[in-house]
Amino acid sequence: MKQYKSTETSIQSAMVDMFKSHTKASERPDNILFDGHVVKTGHWIEVPENFIIKLEFLSKPDADQGADVSVKDGFMSLVDGSEVKLLRTWYDPKYEPVVEYSGYSSAKKVLVYNVYKEERNGRIFEEKWTRNAGMVVEKISDNEFVLKCSSGQFNPPNFESLIFRVSVHEKS
């Protein structure tokens, strides 16, 4: 596998290069080697068809950051009974650092990634997967992961910028 360095490229450019060099999706890795780290922009988690997902912020971010959970072929149920395909949760010290939702996925998969806000020309933008945004994923068990995230603004990437844990269980 090709190795990339922050002194030569960004995570975003390295991901595009890896994607172009592996034209067959079945042969394409879901990560790159970047500055000696195995880096992803999103992490797929296999879930039961009916699941409970718990997201816990383990650190206060260096920037305005949060996490997205996107359900493939399904939804998550909010407290008011509405259903969403994408759940965006921002770190906010005013609230508990843990959220938990039930969901359904006929594909039995969710995609988790970090998001962040950036100001450009006096406007705030919600971003993901730009410049040096990426994460190092630590597998704790088959249903629990710790994600160490860098937002796009850092050069070199700072994988300690936001750390959160995701765990998934079957809904009983």
Domain boundaries of the chain, sorted by first residue: 8-20+28-170
Q: How far apart are CA 105 and CA 49, in angstroms?
A: 5
Give the pairing type, strands 37-39 and 123-127: unpaired
Q: What is the pTM of this model?
A: 0.94
Bin 59: left if φ > 0, else alpha if -120 < ψ < 50, else beta. Answer: beta
pLDDT of res. 164: 98
Per-residue pLDDT, 1: 84
Q: What is the DSSP string of 139-163?
A: EEETTEEEEEEE-TT-SS--TTSEE
Label residue 94 by pLDDT band (50, 70, 90).
very high
**Best CA proximity match to 31, nearest among 125, 160, 139, 144:** 139
Task: Specify the 3-state DSSP secondary structure of 103.
Answer: strand
User: Is residue 92 helix, strand or coil?
Assistant: coil
- pLDDT category at 76 given cuts 50, 70, 90 is very high
Instruction: Write down the pLDDT at residue 63.
Output: 80
Say if residue 54's pLDDT is above 90.
yes
